[in-house]
Every structure is written in C-alpha cells, then in structure tokens.
Amino acid sequence: MYHPHPLQWLRTHPRGADALLTLLVVVIAVASHLRGESSVNDPNQPDPAWWTVLIVLAGTVPIYWRRTKPLVAGLVVVTAEVTALFIGLAGAAFIGSVIAVYSIGAYTVGVVRTRVMTAIAALVIGLFIAGWIDGLQLLDEFISTGVLLITSFVVGDNLRRRRQHVADLAERAERAEREQGLLAEQRVTAERTRIARDLHDVVAHSVSVMVIQAAAARRNLTTNPDAASETLASIESTGRQTMNELRAILGVLRTETADAALDPQPSLHLIDALVAADDLPVAVSVEGEVAGLPDSVSVTGYRLVQEALTNVRRHAGPVDAVTVHVHVAAGQLVIEVSD
C-alpha cells in the first residue's frame, strides 16, 4: 500500500496543513503564557488569566484562515499582538502575527496589497511613536516587532511573486505547446489538401482515358472484335491501376490517429481478439477456414459479431454466458450468437 511522504501530504492538503500549524502555534503560545514567561506590566496586580488567554487565542487561532481570508485573519492577529505588546504579553502571541503578516504578503493581490502595505507601514510608525512617548521603555521591543512584521510581509510577497512567475512560465509553455499542435494540424491539413488535389487529378485523368477507350471499343465491337477486346482489357488495366492509386491516397487521407491507421482491417480471423477485449463471458467456436473468405465477407462477418455483442451488452442485461458460432462451408458463412 502506498503511503505519501508527509511533506507531499502537506502540499496536497493545505487546509490540513493550516490546521496542524494553527494547533502547533496555539499550543506553544498558550503553554508559554501559562508557564509565566509573559506577565503583565504591574507584578503586584493579580494576573487575570482568563482574558490574557483570550488575547493569546485571538493572536493564534485565526491563522487557520490565513489562506482563505488572509486580511481578516491578519487584522485579528495583529490587533491581538499590539494589545499584547501594551500589556506585556508580547511573547505569547508574537509568532502568530509573524505568520499572519507573511500570509497577507503571500495571498493578497492588487489594490488590496497596496492598502495592506500602507497599513503595515503606518502600524510600524505608530509603534515607534508609542514607544517613544512611553519614555523608551518599550521602544526597542516595538521597533523589533515592526521590523519583523515588515520582513514577514516582504518574504511572503517575494514567495507570491515567485509562485506567480512559475505559473506564468507554465502557462507560456502550455500555450506554446498548443500553438505548436495547431501549427502541426495546419501542416497536416495543407498536406491533405494537396493530396486531395492529386486525387482529383488521378481520378479525372483515369476516367477520361477510360471514357475514350470505352467509346473506341464500342465502335469496334462489331467491325473489329479483336481491337475492341484489347481496348476493354486496357480499360480494365486502367481501372485496376486507378483503384490501387485511390486506395493509397485514401489511406493517407484517413482521419484516424496514427495508431488506428496502423491497425489491421477487421476480419473474422481477428474474432478472438474482439472477444478478448469484451467484458462479456463469450465462448467462440469456428468451423471451416475463415481465411478463404473474400475480404468483404470477412469484414461483414466481423461487424455482425461486433454488433451482436453490443446488443447483448445493451439489451440482454446480466448474462452468464454468450456463445458465438462461426460456420464456413461451401462458400457460405453462417454466424450464430446466443446468450
């Protein structure tokens, strides 16, 4: 049994990957907060754990929607991060804001992306001003947070541009392949048109010759039977040659695929292959030599068996067994199909 590689599974199941990422970030952030690594500014004030945990969850859970709704998820996460900064819980939800801003850069386009870039720049400037007003107490932390947010957005944006570039290259390659196929079809059509003109020339010339020879044979039929016989023989030879040329040209003009063009003409000696390719339980019996039948009869017999099996499949419903009996004797062909 085939088991996909974990990385391959993550690439083919983005929602599952986002769920695992969200769970991991939530566990890390909540565990960090509960261990006391993030405390409020006033150590004498009791830690209201219930609302600080809510802030941590607000800064991590929306990561699950980072692909489908990157702006909404990013807004909630960054708001929670800024709130955590001002109350001293920065460490708990920090990783969530980095992932959210990265996702905004990776999954937004157009005018929205410009507005997001402007909002992030305004946020960074606001953090700097807030830290400066606070008397430099939180300035370093605010600046580092702003730099990381900008860096996250730039990384996401670069990856988005790279994916878009790869997609554009793939589309160009596909378009070039389609155009190449169209050019090939046009060349084939042009060649068939040329062959059709040759076909017209062959038929017109041969028929003209045969008409002239037939008129001469008719005039000599009573007065010079030997000459008329020679003319009729020439007409026969011309007709046979024309038929051979027509077969060759029409073989080139066939519209089937290359594989189908190489397939042998169906006949009764291929009936075993026909039955083997069918999904019905068919038993075949042959009496006589089908190889001695004329081609037209053999082809007709093959088509009769093929059509009979098709009718059984369509109208007889489930069957336990189908029998095909082919009998050749005294120049006659008898085919019996029963279920």
Answer whether 60's CB lies under 8 Å from 96's CB: yes
The sheet with strand 322-329 has its strands ordered as 282-287, 322-329, 332-338
Topology adopted by domain 268-338 = Heat Shock Protein 90 (3.30.565)
**Counting beta carbons within 10 angstroms of the beta carbon of residue 273, is it exposed (0 to 12), middle (13 to 18) or buried (19 or more)?**
exposed
The one-character DSSP state at 6 is H
The one-character DSSP state at 263 is S
Topology adopted by domain 190-256 = 1.20.5
Q: What is the pLDDT of residue 41?
A: 47
Q: Which residues pair with 283 in a beta bridge?
A: 323
Residue where the block lists tokens 């945990």: 53
pLDDT digit string (tens) for the chain, length 339 residues:
445 566 777 777 888 888 888 898 888 888 877 776 444 444 554 454 667 788 888 888 998 998 888 888 888 888 887 777 777 665 555 788 888 888 888 888 776 767 777 777 777 677 667 666 655 555 666 677 777 878 888 888 889 889 888 888 888 888 888 888 888 888 878 877 777 776 777 677 777 778 888 888 888 888 888 888 888 888 887 787 777 777 666 665 665 444 444 455 677 888 888 777 776 788 888 888 887 777 777 877 887 888 888 777 767 667 778 888 888 887 788 888 887
Q: What is the pLDDT of residues 130-165, one digit of tens each?
A: 666 655 555 666 677 777 878 888 888 889 889 888
Closest CA to 24 of 16, 12, 35, 34: 16
Reported for 40-43, long-range contacts at CB under 8 A and 24+ positions apart, including other chains, are: 40/87, 40/88, 40/89, 41/87, 41/88
Domain chopping of the chain, boundaries: 6-174, 190-256, 268-338
Q: What is the pLDDT of residues 245-268, one digit of tens each?
A: 776 666 656 654 444 444 556 778
Q: What is the pLDDT of residue 248?
A: 66
Q: What is the pLDDT of residue 38?
A: 45
Q: What are phi and psi of 89, to 5 degrees?
A: -110, 30
